[in-house]
Amino acid sequence: MRTLAKRILNSVEEGVISLLLVSMTLLVFLEVVLRFGFGTTFIWAQELTLHLSAWFVLFGVSYGLKVGAHIGVDAVVRLLPPLGRRVVSGIAVVLSLVYCGLFIYGSWVYLYKMKRIGIELEDLPVPTWLAHSILIIGFVLLSLRLLQLLWAIAMGRAEGFQLADEARESMHLAADAGREGGEGRT
C-alpha cells in the first residue's frame, strides 16, 4: 500500500513539474515571438509565467529532495561515524519539518485572509488565494518527503540527506575533458 502511495506521489510530482515546465517554455516562446515579431503581447503572460515558475520551484523542492538534486555542506557530517551521521541528519530533518510547519501555518493564515478579502490577480481573473495555494501544497509535499527521509534514517536505510556532490561531478567532468583533449595529440 505504501509503495502504491509513493508511486502515485512520484507520478503526480513528475507530471505536474513536466506540465509546468512545458507551459512556461511555450508561454515565454510565444511572448518573444509576439513581442519581437509582431510588436504585441498578452498583458497577462508575465504574471502567469511568474506564477507558473513559483509552482515549478515549490513542486521541484520536494522532488529534488527525493532524487538528491539539492546541494549541501556536509563536510563535517561526513567525518562522523554512521550512527553520528544518522543522529545529526535526524536532527536536521526534524528542524526542517519544524520550518515547514511554520511555513504551512503562515501560508494558511495568508491564504485564508486572501480568500476572505476576495482579491484576484492583477492581470488574470484568478483568486489570489488559489494562485498562491502552492505555498501550502509545496511545503506539504516537502514535509512528506522529509517524513519519508526521517523514517529511512530511523530504520537505518539512510544515513542522511542524499545530496548532489558537485565537487565529485566536477572532477569527473575535468577527467573526461582531459581524456578527450589528449586523444587528438600524438
Give the model confidence (pLDDT) of 114-170 as tens digits.
999 999 999 999 999 999 999 999 999 999 999 999 999 999 888 888 776 666 666
Distance, in Å, from the CA atom of 76 to the CA atom of 15, rounded to the nearest integer, reads 37
Residues 6+ apart with CB under 8 A from 99: none
Residue with cell 492581470: 123
Give the model confidence (pLDDT) of 15-34 as tens digits.
999 999 999 999 999 999 99
pLDDT for residue 181: 66
Give the model confidence (pLDDT) of 73-118 as tens digits.
777 888 889 899 899 999 999 999 999 999 999 999 999 999 999 9
pLDDT for residue 100: 97
Task: Assess whether pLDDT exceeds 50 at residue 186.
Answer: no
Domain parsing of the chain, residue ranges: 2-166
Distance, in Å, from the CA atom of 119 to the CA atom of 138, rounded to the nearest integer, reads 22
